[in-house]
Structure 1
Amino acid sequence: MKKGAYAFLLLVLIIVLLASLFASGKPDGLEFIAEQLGFIHKGVESKSLLTDYTFSPIKTEATSTMFAGILGILLCLGTIKLYTTLYRERK
């Protein structure tokens, strides 16, 4: 990767870390409507590593949210890298 790409990735990670400090603990739009209309109890909680924008093995909520954001970015970048690598091989 080029030097500029590393700087951009670092900037994105810093933004995610700072933005995660302002994440709301309130329910998102779908959960809010489900609560208002009375069918929130019909929802099924899933067991995953990134439930509710947190990383479940980490117990501190702020740290868990930050880590989940970084992990999400890395997963997206990995998917993009995989796609572009496969696409180039097809040409």
Structure 2
Amino acid sequence: MKTKASGAKAGVRVRLESKALTLSANCPLDHTNPITCPLHDLRRLSEPDRQKWVKGLTLPDLRYLVLYHETCAIERQRQATRPRQRRVGKTPNVER
């Protein structure tokens, strides 16, 4: 007999596995496979192999993986919207 707590935990796991499987396909921001991403090598595997890998993760590892990517997405969006700083004292090399 399942308790509410175990049912809720199973629901959390299903949602996290779904998110992790989506993340294992490509980067959700630009739909690429950045070499700096911890999932870079995993994305080269077939979908069944990625599913097997995701199923093998512990609940804390799934939480970490999803949180890591959410944090990365927020930081990348922040950097994209931040105005570029001009370098003071540098002039372009222009031939005269």
Per the normalisation by structure 1, the TM-score is 0.35
Structure with the greater alpha carbon radius of gyration: 2
| TM-score normalized with structure 2 length | 0.33
